Structure 1
Amino acid sequence: MRALTIDHSAPGHLSLRAVPDPEPAPHQALVRIHSFSINHGEAAFVVPSGEEGSVPGWDAAGVVVRAAANGSGPAPGTPVVTLGPAGGWAELRAVDTELMGRVPDGADLGSAGALPVAAGSALRALRRLGPILGRRVLVTGASGGVGRFAVQLAARGGAHVVAATSDPAKGEALTSLGAHEVVAADALKAIAPVHGVIDVVGGPQLVSAYDALAPHGILVAVGHSSGDGEDFPFGALFGDAGRHDRSLTTFFLMDDAAGLGADLEWLASLVARGELDPQIGRRDDWSRTQEALGALLAREVAGKAVLDIPVATGL
């Protein structure tokens, strides 16, 4: 099969080359990949510093060509969306059956491939807030990949969604996704108290977002796109003056993956019915992956970047 592999001698640290087909473990299915999406973490960290010769790729969608030997998971011919720690940027992928979800027949696999990390993280982080019906939920970095899904899913869950963005020009788009309020990223200290926060920025924004929590509120730290550390001023963690019993918790999707296949299947069904917008901002042939990675790092992609793999003969 062909795959994009880490090659630190090549421009962009990637080469498209022939590699051996993956050998699935008994609990894995073999999937022919149709499309994959790239995430900021892959562009910023995985590709520049990955192991030589390895095949990156977290998110991918395709069709099962060989079912898992242990009888779990879908049958051959089933369209699926998949998640894994690597291996998605290839024509074939061996995937744990608990990390794949069925995609409705006839649905766009590229749209499904945009879901796993961003939509999966948004969904599971929101669950950590507990009931959100009628409650105020703040999403920082709301115009990014995770943020756009968090806004949509929080609104679907009945929350009053406050979307924070560093780009005022994106306010109308966030409102169309379900945000009830759009605020500037540097104005979080002025907002009314919120029940929960989905933070994908880190740094000073996380500190300000934590300060906006109402008593018993929860902040879930999902991402750290700012690259800055957190410096809480003296008194920020005091429990007096109505600021008591507030929680801050970290989140990593691959450590919260039990049952994720069912979530991916549900998310894919929402996309297929037009009830969840995958927000694909760039779509190319996988031969242009390096260009897409550069555009993602330069923040030139409004939403997700998806790459399609042409079907090769002999697979």
Structure 2
Amino acid sequence: MRAWTPTGRPGDPLELATPQRPTPGPGELLVEVRAYSINRGETMLLERPRPGWRPGKDIAGTVVSVGPDTADWRVGDRVVAHPESGGWAEFAAVPAGRAALLPDSISDRVAAALPLAGLTAPRLLRVAGPIAGKRVLLTGASGGVGHYLVELAATQGALVTAVTSTPDRGERLLELGAADVVGKVGDTDGHFDLVLESVGGETLAEAWARLATRGLLIWFGQASRTPITLDFFNWSGAESGTLRKFSYAESDIPDGADLATLVRLVQGGHLHPEIGSVRPWLDTPEAVRALLERSVRGNLVLEVGQ
């Protein structure tokens, strides 16, 4: 089979290699990959790849083989899955507990946009607790996670202010239910009960200053790649508040179960994955560059075999 493999070379991080096609072990599925999406975090891992690692955590495709202890799965099942790695390939082995069945009404390209970004959004909101009627500030909102967060939070009755780098990147967020879209945290008015922050650098400190008394700020990323400096003696915001670090992987609900929920929401018309670009999978190196240059709004999907 063919698969994208990291080179470790700056400016040329990927090469198309021919590793051995995986064999599913106990509790695993072998999936013929039809589409996958690229996450910003994976592009950063390409800079210093660990030995033996191949990128790819978000895939959709068809089961072509099942390992032992997978009685509920059949060859021919369409799935969306979240393997630990190796998904930028023609075939990928996936633990069955990290996959969910796909109905015919959801295409592979839409399903491929679900896993990491889709899993992150509802898990963040579970940590946040009830948000109906609350003012929510979301930074870095124009990526895949941001679109899911806006739609899910607005559906739950939150008043979401989304921060995006340019106005055109925020248009879709208004359609998905954002109450307001601004270009920077300093353009907001008042204070917020909940802040969801993923930019880092000066943005986190600015967002902390917008937190309401006894509010909650959840930090879940550092897209700016700039270290954070936070002055707790700056009382321009809340006199007291909570700062929490979040990791999407720390969940009491298995990936497969959460993926099945996302599939139901999409099927029912309650969740709309934002796909900013769809390209042939052989264009993956160019797609990685586009994502690093922040020229793609929402998710970037590659179709295998195209």
How many equivalent residue pairs?
306
Compute the TM-score of the two structures, normalised by the length of structure 1: 0.89
CA contact (8 A) 2:197 2:220 kept: yes
**Corresponding residue for residue 137 of structure 2:** 138
**1:13 corresponds to 2:13:** yes
2:283 to 269, 288, 312: 288
Q: In the alignment, residue 267 of structure 2 is paired with which amino acid?
A: A
| Equivalent in the alignment of 2:212 | 214
Q: CA deviation at 1:90?
A: 1.1
Aligned equivalents of 1:302, 1:152: Cα separation in 2: 15
Q: CA deviation at 1:257?
A: 6.6
Letter in 1 for 2:122: L
Report the more deviating stretch, 9-18 or 211-220. Answer: 9-18
2:42 counterpart of 1:39? no
8 Å contact kept, 1:7–1:52: no
- Comparing 209-218 and 64-73, the one that deviates more: 64-73
- The answer to whether the 8 A contact 1:221-1:249 is kept is yes
* Unmatched runs of 5 consecutive residues or more in structure 1: none
Shift of the 73–11 alpha-carbon distance from structure 1 to 2, 3 Å rule, reads farther
Q: In structure 2, how many angstroms separate the alpha carbons of the residues matched to 1:79 and 1:269?
A: 15
Determine the structure 2 residue equivalent to 1:103: 102
SS state of the match for residue 154, structure 1? Answer: helix
- For 2:129 and 2:252, how far apart are their aligned partners in 1? 18
Query: Is 1:70–2:66 an aligned residue pair?
Result: no
Deviation larger for 135-144 or 261-270: 261-270
Pairwise CA RMSD: 2.3
Aligned 1:85-234 pairs, distance under 5 A: 85-187=84-186, 190-234=188-232
* Counterpart residue type for residue 220 of structure 2: V
Q: Hey, what's the Cα distance between the residues in 2 that align with 1:46 and 1:293?
A: 12
The DSSP-based 3-state class of the residue aligned with 1:197 is strand
How many percent of aligned residue pairs carry the same amino acid?
39
Classify 1:134/1:94 alpha carbon distance in 2 versus 1 (closer, same or farther; 3 Å).
Answer: same
Secondary structure of 2:270 counterpart: coil
> C-alpha displacement at 1:13, in angstroms?
2.0
Structure 1 residue 125: Cα displacement: 0.7
Counterpart in the other structure of 1:265: 260
TM-score, scaled relative to structure 2: 0.92
1:63-98 deviations in whole A, cap 9, x for unaligned?
122234113653322211111221111111111222
